[in-house]
Amino acid sequence: MIIGEDPVLPGALEVATLGMTMRFGGFTALDDVSIRVAPGSFHALLGENGAGKSTLVKCMMGFYHATSGQMTVGGREARIADPRDAHALGLGMVYQHFTLVPSLTAAENLVISRRDTPAVIDWARESRALRDFMAAMPFRVPLDQPISRLAAGEKQKLEILKQLYLGRRFLILDEPTSVLTPDEADEVLGHVRALCAAGEISVLMITHKFREVTAFADEVSVLRRGRLVGQGRVADLGHADMAAMMIGTSAARTPLPRQGAAGPEVLSVRGVKARDRSGLKEIAIDALTVKAGEVVGIAGISGNGQMELMEILTGQRPAQGEIRVAGRPYHATRTEAQALAVRYLPEEPLRNACAGRMSVAENIAFRSFDRNGAASRFWLAGGQMRARAAQLVDAFKVKTASLDAPIAALSGGNVQRAVLARELTGEVRLLVISNPCFGLDFSAVAEIRARIMAARNAGTAVLLMSEDLDEVMELSDRILVMSEGRIAFETPAATADLATIGHHMGGHA
Amino acid sequence: MADQTMIGSTGATWLPALARRSEAVVIPLAALVLGLGLFGLFLLTQGKSPVDFMAIVWKGAYGSAFSLQNTLSRAAPLLLAALCVALPARLGLVVIGGEGAIVLGGVATGALGPHLAAVPPIVALPLLGLIAMAVGGLWIGAAGALRFYRGVNETISSLLLAYIAIALMNHLVEGPFRDPASLNKPSTLPLVDALRVGNLPGMEVHWGLAFGLLACVASWVLIDKTTWGFAARIVGGNVRAAQVQGLPVGRLILGFTALAGGFAGLAGFFEVTAVFGSANASLASGYGYTGILIAFLARHNPLAIIPVALLLAGFDAASGLIQRRMDLPDATILVLQGFVFLVILISDTAYGRLKLFHPERWA
């Protein structure tokens, strides 16, 4: 602070970024982004996964140091070296997941969150102070209950109260409603909105949900691929406009060349119901079919049930309803998967499809180690396993120091190549894929997509779940949109309209 | 890129391969030496000489035919107890309640043995052994089942089950199965001589040692050479990947924990038929806990368990001599074991971090 300068005015802060750019090596995560959050305004930050929203707010909070660009807080330039500097300026952040200690009461959580908490706490005094603080707030949370007894909405309210208690006047909310029911979400955001209107705080909220933007925000900024692609007053924008900005209009990638027409039905999912990860919402797939020689792409913003659908299809999540492969009931046991030639490429292959400490050769053998032609085997055939792995490593160009190297030592692209080698070898009738190219470099992406397309052209039925709309457009014959745990929309890829797809992704029919 | 084009080349690749493999041997050995070093410091604080200590351990454990046989006899239950930890560990489970399975295997043998006096030993002994294994398998299998079906932490549940097993043993041995003639030390009825397991030919070491060695080799074959073992290693490596591969995770967990408990139950069987002649409180003598240390030192490799068990059995065998010659309490050996275990657990963080063992360094 410059001596003699006017103090920053109390109440809601104005915060702005100017030409914020963040590079990680050769990758530009954030490219010349300037946004301004006016004092007392509720500003929404929209964008797909990987659009740079998190990078932007992490730069603002001092978790990252931007490669170039500036920030102003309260109208003057601010240098934020770490989150403590941000806090001192009155900037605070509420995370997607709760940061409260579940076994402590709300009062205890508030007091320990302060930086100046004394070694010996005078609880009588603190309680009085907290009661006074609560009385001045527009909404309340019981102070003497352990956090573990509070509902999710109450916890999120307490997270926001905590920021106010700590004197923060600019809040960043990172998808604050993702663990809340719709009613709870409306209540919490309503309170936040009132605080903004009263001039207590300014808010920048990261979200995927158009509905929340329209209902609560004043202004919106849209990021795509690290660039600011749209900005405006919410009152002037419709869902269609926001969707168009979010997914872009130039994104209409031409589908890859393909041959052959779709054959008979391979996968059929009927009336499948299951709980989602949070246990609060339901996943319900009424009807989903994939034919031989066809790629069915499921688009959707993350957290709308794609992960759960993958778990249902891989037998990791109990579900009611009927799943058939080639007309036969399917429960994802190893015998069924082998008999019906069903293969999987789960997202993050190292986490979901490999044993990191086991060798490359062993990981490649996961599908076939217990098969001896059509029969099963009891004794492991180590020599055959290695020979086969050597051949596949060669054919799929997996770069590894040795077949005996632990697979965790490989780069992401090579892990995915090894998994592809394992899953795409031999007859494959059905291939279920989730985000196959997430986090991979350009050349690996092209190669992996070409392999998937080759499998389709050879007559494999492919179900592709991806948060990358370009990928869905490029690979699919038919596109489905998943939203709120349901299939919300279906269209042939040839006549797909991006704006319509974006609209359905945002949760509005 | 040179280090990435080695596949298919016929150059000297044994050095990098050796570097990787030696990691699993050198780190536990270094941990053992460090643990002994710390224990040496502890002895110095007690005014005792670490050099004398090692000399007495050598004498008491391996120095004479008598002490060597004493060591080997103690190694028998330790081999089986260590397998009870090592097998579940390959599936990613930390089971530390082998003591309970040993105790119950012994109690089953001691309680049923006297009723089989009329049955030919060739039938009765295998039958008793199988029953002891079944009881032990049920006990540790229960910890596996609780883990798989109810999500109960198997480390805690197996430990608590061990306490229950010991309490159960005390109740049965002092109550329903007590031999009225056992006055000072409540025991079951003594086994007839025909049901006592004898010594290995030409040695003063009972047959339990042979079965312990056999169990280690068989376990190694099971884990390293069969598809079941491979499936178990996938489960241990990443249970999510195993599920995506459609592997029967539940059956593998139940099967391997039950087999592990079965081995511990077999240890109890040999303690009763070869050592005590009846079941009593001496069954809970801590073999199950020493087995934990052995399995961790051996990195849960069944073959590596053999030398480690012989080492630890040696310490055990020498403890009496240490007590007499050095005027130290017999708990001294527990202090040593504690030091070694602590260093072993800490050394786990060294894996993959030491450049010495990186194949690239030698390529």
Are A169 and A32 in the same domain?
yes
Checking if the pLDDT of B80 tops 90, the result is yes
Are A410 and A437 in the same domain?
no
Q: What is the edge-to-edge ordering of all strands in the sheet holding A265-275?
A: A282-291, A265-275, A320-325, A328-329
Comparing alpha-carbon positions, the chain B residue that sits nearest to A414 is B4
Contact B234 A355 (CB under 8 A): yes
Are A403 and A466 in the same domain?
no
Q: Which of B226, B237, B360 sits opposite A356 (nearest CB)?
A: B237
Comparing alpha-carbon positions, the chain A residue that sits nearest to B241 is A353
* Residue type for position B29: L
Boundary of a domain, candidates A219, A247, A275: A247
Are A468 and A503 in the same domain?
yes
Chain A residues whose beta carbon lies within 8 Å of the beta carbon of residue B255? none
Are A415 and A446 in the same domain?
no
Q: To probe the interface with B, which of A317, A344, A348, A380 has the most B CB atoms within 10 Å?
A: A380
What local confidence, expressed as pLDDT, does residue A442 receive?
Answer: 66
Contact B226 A355 (CB under 8 A): no
A259 by Cβ neighbours in 10 Å (0-12 / 13-18 / 19+) ranks as exposed
A490-to-A211, A323, A486, B25, B193 alpha-carbon distances in Å: 21, 20, 11, 58, 80
Tell me the shortest Cα–Cα distance from B20 to chain A, in angstroms: 9
Contact A355 B7 (CB under 8 A): no
What local confidence, expressed as pLDDT, does residue A149 receive?
Answer: 84
Contact A378 B363 (CB under 8 A): no
- Domain for residue A2, yes or no? no
Are A37 and A135 in the same domain?
yes
Q: To probe the interface with B, which of A368, A402, A410, A432 has the most B CB atoms within 10 Å?
A: A402
Checking if the pLDDT of B9 tops 50, the result is no
Is residue B96 very low, low, confident or very high in pLDDT (cuts 50, 70, 90)? very high
> Which of the pair, A237 or A8, is modelled with greater confidence?
A237
Residues B87 and B259: beta-carbon distance below 8 Å? yes
Chain B residues whose beta carbon lies within 8 Å of the beta carbon of residue A352? 238, 240-241, 244
Dump pLDDT digits (tens) for A293-347: 999 999 887 778 888 999 999 988 888 999 999 999 999 999 999 999 999 999 8
Comparing alpha-carbon positions, the chain A residue that sits nearest to B351 is A357
- Domain for residue A419, yes or no? yes
Chain B residues whose beta carbon lies within 8 Å of the beta carbon of residue A416? none
Q: Which of B4, B229, B247 sits opposite A334 (nearest CB)?
A: B247
- Please state, in angstroms and rounded to a whole number, the distance separating the CA atoms of residues A125 and A144: 15
Tell me the shortest Cα–Cα distance from B4 to chain A, in angstroms: 5
Residues A251 and A498: beta-carbon distance below 8 Å? yes
- Domain for residue A136, yes or no? yes
Is residue B10 very low, low, confident or very high in pLDDT (cuts 50, 70, 90)? very low
Q: To probe the interface with A, which of B3, B244, B251, B360 has the most A CB atoms within 10 Å?
A: B244
CATH label of the domain that carries residue A458: 3.40.50.300
Helix (H, G, I), strand (E, B) or coil at A29: strand
Are A89 and A197 in the same domain?
yes
What local confidence, expressed as pLDDT, does residue A273 receive?
Answer: 92
Tell me the shortest Cα–Cα distance from B52 to chain A, in angstroms: 42
Are A436 and A420 in the same domain?
no
- Domain for residue A347, yes or no? no
- Domain for residue A1, yes or no? no
Dump pLDDT digits (tens) for B106-120: 999 999 998 988 888
Dump pLDDT digits (tens) for A173-204: 988 887 777 778 888 899 999 999 999 899 99
B62 by Cβ neighbours in 10 Å (0-12 / 13-18 / 19+) ranks as middle
What local confidence, expressed as pLDDT, does residue B250 receive?
Answer: 94
- Domain for residue A261, yes or no? no
Chain A residues whose beta carbon lies within 8 Å of the beta carbon of residue B245? 334, 337, 366-367
Q: Which of B20, B238, B245 sits opposite A367 (nearest CB)?
A: B245
> Which of the pair, A372 or A89, is modelled with greater confidence?
A89
Are A461 and A443 in the same domain?
yes
Helix (H, G, I), strand (E, B) or coil at A43: strand
Checking if the pLDDT of A255 tops 70, the result is no
Comparing alpha-carbon positions, the chain B residue that sits nearest to A354 is B241
DSSP code of residue A253: P
Contact A370 B240 (CB under 8 A): no
Comparing alpha-carbon positions, the chain A residue that sits nearest to B358 is A405
Q: Which of B16, B20, B245 sits opposite A334 (nearest CB)?
A: B245
What local confidence, expressed as pLDDT, does residue A244 receive?
Answer: 76
What local confidence, expressed as pLDDT, does residue B103 receive?
Answer: 97
Chain B residues whose beta carbon lies within 8 Å of the beta carbon of residue A332? 246
Contact A370 B360 (CB under 8 A): no
Checking if the pLDDT of B264 tops 50, the result is yes
Checking if the pLDDT of B322 tops 60, the result is yes
Contact B244 A333 (CB under 8 A): no
Contact A358 B360 (CB under 8 A): no
Comparing alpha-carbon positions, the chain A residue that sits nearest to B228 is A378
Contact B244 A346 (CB under 8 A): yes
Is residue A1 very low, low, confident or very high in pLDDT (cuts 50, 70, 90)? very low
Contact A378 B228 (CB under 8 A): yes
Contact A333 B226 (CB under 8 A): no
E-state strands within A276-384: 282-291, 294-299, 320-325, 328-329, 342-345, 371-372, 375-376
Contact A401 B3 (CB under 8 A): yes
- Domain for residue B190, yes or no? yes
Mean pLDDT to the nearest integer, B152-175: 94
For residue A319, the enclosing domain spans: 266-341+427-509
- How many domains are contained in chain B? 1
**Residue A125: what are its φ and ψ, rounded to 5°?**
-65, -45
- Domain for residue B163, yes or no? yes
Mean pLDDT to the nearest integer, B155-164: 96
Chain B residues whose beta carbon lies within 8 Å of the beta carbon of residue A315? 243, 246
Tell me the shortest Cα–Cα distance from A379 to chain B, in angstroms: 4
Is residue A254 very low, low, confident or very high in pLDDT (cuts 50, 70, 90)? low
> Which residue matches tokens 């745990």?
A485
Tell me the shortest Cα–Cα distance from A313 to chain B, in angstroms: 9
- Domain for residue A328, yes or no? yes
Tell me the shortest Cα–Cα distance from B162 to chain A, in angstroms: 30
Indicate the pTM of the whole model: 0.76
Are A499 and A415 in the same domain?
no
For a pLDDT cut of 70, what percent of chain A falls above it? 94
Comparing alpha-carbon positions, the chain A residue that sits nearest to B7 is A402
Contact A402 B16 (CB under 8 A): yes
Pairing relationship of beta strands A219-224 and A42-46 according to DSSP bridges: parallel
Are A362 and A451 in the same domain?
no
Is residue B2 very low, low, confident or very high in pLDDT (cuts 50, 70, 90)? very low
Helix (H, G, I), strand (E, B) or coil at A7: coil
For a pLDDT cut of 90, what percent of chain A falls above it? 40
- Please state, in angstroms and rounded to a whole number, the distance separating the CA atoms of residues A288 and A294: 13
Q: Which of A332, A355, A362 sits opposite B246 (nearest CB)?
A: A332
3-state secondary structure A296-315: EEEECCCCCCHHHHHHHHCC
Are A368 and A449 in the same domain?
no
Mean pLDDT to the nearest integer, A258-271: 87
Contact B238 A354 (CB under 8 A): yes
Contact A316 B16 (CB under 8 A): no
Q: Which ranges of chain B would DSSP assign to H, the alpha helix? A: 14-45, 50-61, 65-90, 98-112, 121-150, 154-174, 208-225, 227-237, 239-244, 249-270, 287-297, 302-326, 332-347, 359-362
For residue B141, the enclosing domain spans: 81-216+250-296
Residues of B in CB contact (< 8 Å) with A are: 3-4, 6-8, 13, 16-17, 20, 224-231, 233-234, 236-238, 240-241, 243-248, 359-360, 363
**Residue B253: what are its φ and ψ, rounded to 5°?**
-65, -45
- Domain for residue A477, yes or no? yes
- Domain for residue B39, yes or no? no
- How many domains are contained in chain A? 3
Residues A340 and A325: beta-carbon distance below 8 Å? yes
Averaged pLDDT score across all residues of chain A: 86
Structure ipTM over 0.90, yes or no: no
Q: What is the DSSP string of A192-240?
A: HHHHHHTTS-EEEEEES-HHHHHHH-SEEEEEETTEEEEEEEGGG--HH
Chain B residues whose beta carbon lies within 8 Å of the beta carbon of residue A401? 3-4, 6, 16, 359-360, 363
Tell me the shortest Cα–Cα distance from B221 to chain A, in angstroms: 9
What local confidence, expressed as pLDDT, does residue B1 receive?
Answer: 36
> Which residue matches tokens 């076939």?
A368
Boundary of a domain, candidates A394, A426, A458: A426
Q: Which of B230, B236, B359 sits opposite A402 (nearest CB)?
A: B359
Mean pLDDT to the nearest integer, A422-435: 92
What local confidence, expressed as pLDDT, does residue B12 receive?
Answer: 56
Checking if the pLDDT of A375 tops 90, the result is no
Checking if the pLDDT of B7 tops 50, the result is no
